[in-house]
Structure 1
Amino acid sequence: RCTTPTAGATATCSDRTPPGWRRSTRRSTSRRSSRSTAATACLCPPPGPGPTPPSRSGPPVRQFVRPAALLPATTSAGHVRALLTGSPEVSGVLLVDTHGVPVRSVHRSRFLLSMSGRYGHALYADRPAAKLGDPPRTVGVDATAWEVLDVVAVGDRDRTSDDVAVVDRYGRCVGVVRLADLVRALAESRVEEAASLNPLTRLPGSDAITGEVDRRIADGRTFALSWLDVDHFKQVNDGAGFAAGDELIRSVGRALRHAASGSTHVGHIGGDDFLVLADPDGLDPVAASVLDAPWSAGGNPVSLSLATVVCTPGSVMDHRQAAAWLAPLKKAAKSIGGASWVLGRAGVNGHEVRRGAGASATPAGYGVAEPGRN
C-alpha cells in the first residue's frame, strides 16, 4: 500500500508498481531552511525502444508521464509555497490522502498569485493548502492521449494548463502528464500519419495496420486480419485503362471506409491490395460492402477476393506471423472464380469458404499450411 509522509518528510511510492515502470524520487530543498525539505515521489514508465506507431485512439499516456510532486492533504500553504519557490521546474503539487489518492490539485501560477497578494501570505501561510487547490483531474494508466484531452476539454477553461494526474487501478497517483506534451505528440503523429496515407485512397498504409495488430496481440485480444484485392487487376488496367483502374481502387477504398466502424481499421498497402483489421463479429458488414457490390471497370464486370485469418490470444506472436497465416488463405481465395471469401484460423489447418464456389465447405488441397512448413 502507499504511504504518504507528514510535511517535511519524503513521500514513498506504492509497492504495487505497474509492470515495467521504475520508481523515482526527487528531492527539492527550499530556500528557507526553516521550512525543511519537500519531496516529490513518482512512478515513471521505462523508455520505450522507439516511437509507438500512432493509432486511431492516439499514443498511450504512459509515454508522457512525468514525476509528480506529492504532499499530504493536510500540508500547509506555506509548505507548498516553499516547495514551489525552491523548485521552478515543478508546475503543480498534488495533495494526496494516506493511500496516495489525489484529493486536491494545486496549480503553481494560481497558487503563488493568491499567496503574493497584499494579505495572501499572512492569510494562508498556516492554513491547509487544499483551500487554494482544485479537484484533481485524473486518468488511468491505460488511457490514451486523446482521452486525456477529453478530460481537459470538459473542464474549466481556466485550468487548461493544469497537470493531469495518472492513477493506477486503486486510484493512487503514479505521475502526471502535461497538456503541452500531449498536443505536441498528437500533432507530430498526425503529420506522420498524413505522410503515410496512400495518395489514391487517402487510407493509411501497412505500418498503421501492422502496428495496431501488434497492439492487439500485446493486449491479448482476438482479432480478424483480412486481405482484399481485385481479381486480375493487371488485365483490368490493360483493358479499361489506368484511369478506370484508379477510379475502381478509389471506389473500393470508399466502400471499405464507409463500412468500417468502431474498432475496424482499413489500410491500402499499394496497388489493388487492402488490409482490414476488425473484431470477428465486425467482419460481415465489411465483406458485404465489397463482395455484394456490382463492380465494373470500362463497362466490364470485376470481382474481388477476400481472405481472413482469425487470431486468438497466443496463436501468433506478432503481425509477421499473422501475415504468414494469411498468405495461403489469399492464395485459396484467388483460386475461386468470381467474388470469393475464405476464412481460416491461425494455428488451425483448413479453412472455410464463405463466398464463391464451395461456400461453407473446405475444398481438398486448400488447407491452411502452418507458416514455415512445406
Structure 2
Amino acid sequence: MKPRDDDNEAAVLRAHLHDILARKQLSALFQPIVHMPTGEIIAYEGLIRGPSDSPLHSPINLFQAARANGLTVQVEHLCRKVVLERFAELQLPGKLFLNVSPECLLQRDARHGETLEVIHQIGINPERVIIELTENQPTYDYDLMREAVLHYRTMGFQIAIDDLGEGFSSLRLWSELRPEYVKIDMHFIQGINHDPVKLQFVRSIQEIAEKSNTRVIAEGIETQAELLVLRDVGVACGQGYHLGRPHPVPARAAPAEVVKALSRNGVAVYPQRRQDQHNASIHKLLQAVPAVPSSMNNNDVYEIFQQNPKLMIIPVVDDGQPQGLINRFDMIEHFARPYERELYGKKSCRQFMDRKPLIADRNTSLQELSRRMAEADAHHLFNGFMITEHGRYLGMGTGHDLMREITQMQIHAARYANPLTQLPGNVPITEHIDRLLESGTRFWVCYFDLDHFKPFNDVYGYRRGDDVIQLTGNILTAYCDPDRDFVGHIGGDDFMVLFQSEDWERRCQAVLDEFAHHVLNFYSNEDRERGGYISEDRQGKKVFYSLMSLSIGAIRVEPRQYYTHHQIATAAADSKKQAKKIHGNSLFLDRRAPAAAAASAPAAG
C-alpha cells in the first residue's frame, strides 16, 4: 500500500510542477546585502517562492521536485527570468545576486545564453548581475566549471560562491574559480560573538580573501553583536534577518539602528578561547630508550647500567608488550648486599623489576597523565612512564619532563586566561587595548584591586581567599555589557575592565555596592560586628585590619591621547594607588590623565 501512496504523492507534485512552469507561477523576494564600512545596501539576493497554496511553495520542495522529474534546468531558467524581471520592475539599486546551480551553469544547449538574453530584453547591465553558485551536489568537473565561468565573465557577469564552509567542495571551487565574492555559511556566523572557533574560521577566510582580492559576505546575521564582531574582523558585507528579511518589495536602506551601530566608533569584544590543555599529548615527551627482554639475566642488566652511567631506567619488554621497569639504584642496592649477586645474578631480570609501572598510550593528554602520576606512588615520579601505541612499547617519558611541560602550560595558559576565574589574562587585555587605541574611540580603563586581601588570606586561608576572588570576577562580569565592555583578570586580586559603556560610572558603583554586601558573608559574626580582625603585619606586630573593600582607579582615554598599552597600564596603576588612599570601597577618576599622557606622547617630526 505504501509504494502506491508514494506514487500518488509524486504524481501530485509532478502535476503541480508542470502547472507552475506552464503558468509561470513563481514570485520573487529580495534580501538586502549591506556594505559594512558604510551601512549602505549595495546589492540584493534574488530568492524564489512557489504559489502560496502549493506544496511547492518552499524553494527546497520546489527544487527537489524539479530534480526528481528531470526539470531542474527549466525551473532554474524560469526562476532567473522571474527574479530579473521583478528586480528591473522595482528599480532596485545596486547589484543583483542571481542563484545558479553548477549543474545548470554547465548546460551546453541552445539556452546557454538565455540569461543574457533576458537581461538585454529588460535593460539591466550584466555588470550589475552576480552569478551566485549554489551547491546542492558535488562538483567534480572543475575544468568544465572554469570554462563556463569564463564564458559568463566574458559576458560581463561576476561570480559568487554560496555557503562557504557548508558545501561539498566550496573551498576547492574558490581556488579553481577565483570568484569576486564568497558567502560564508550562516553556521559560522550565528553566535560568532560567543564562539572563538567560529571567529578564527571567519578570520582565516577573511585573510585568504584579502590575498585573493575576494569580497566576503557573512550570511545569517541575526544580532547586533554578531554584526559588530564581523565588522571588526574586516568582513566587507553582511546579509541576514538583522539587516533585512526577504521581501517582495524590500527596503532601499538598512535599518537605522544597523547604520548607527556600524558608524559608531569602538570595537566589539571578541570571544576568548579557553586554553584547552587536554589537546597536548604525552607523545611530545617520548624518548627512545632501548628495552631488554625479561629473559635477560640480572648480571647482563647490571652490565648495561655500568656501561651507561647516565642511564637511570631500563624498560623490560617481551614481543612489544611492556612488562616492567628496572631502576638503576634498586639494582645497585641489591647487588651491594652480601650474596645477592651470587644468588640472583643469573636469574631473570624480573627479580628486581617494578612489575606495575605507569603505562600510557601516546595520545594520553599531559593533564591526564599528570593526574595519574599524582595519585600513584612517589617512586613513579623518578622511574617515569612507558609510552605505548596500540599496546606496543614505543619509548619512555620522564616525570621531570612531564612536570616541566605541565608548568610551562600553566604559565602560558595564565597569560591568556586566569585559571581561577577563567577571565582573560594579560595577553588578551593588551590585545583589546591595542584594538581600542587603533579604533580611535573613547573608552575608560578601570583597575580594580582588593584592599586588605593578604591579611584576610592569612587569617581565613587561601581557599576562602580564592572564593573572594571568584566573587569579584563574577560581580564584574554581571555588571558589564558583554558586547562592549572587556573584563580581564590581571592576576591575584587585580582586575581590569575596559569600558565602552557611557554609563561606566554607574556600573562601577553597582559593583562596589554588590561587593560590599556579599563580602560580609566571608567573615565570622564577631569580625563583622567589630568591622575587622586582628592579624600580624610583616614585622610580626599585631594589627587591626578593616574588612575587605574594593578600590577602583579609573582613567578616561580620548582618541590619540595615548599611544601604547604601556602608557595606559601605567596611568591606570597610578589611578589605582590614589583610589587605595581612600578608606573603604572607592572609585577614583584620574582627571590629570590628559596632561600626563600628552607629556609622554611621542615627539612630532
TM-score w.r.t. length of structure 1: 0.49
TM-score w.r.t. length of structure 2: 0.32
- The one of the two structures with greater contact order (alpha-carbon pairs below 8 A, sep at least 6) is 1
Name the one with the larger helix percent: 2
User: Which of structures 1 and 2 has the bigger CA Rg?
Assistant: 2
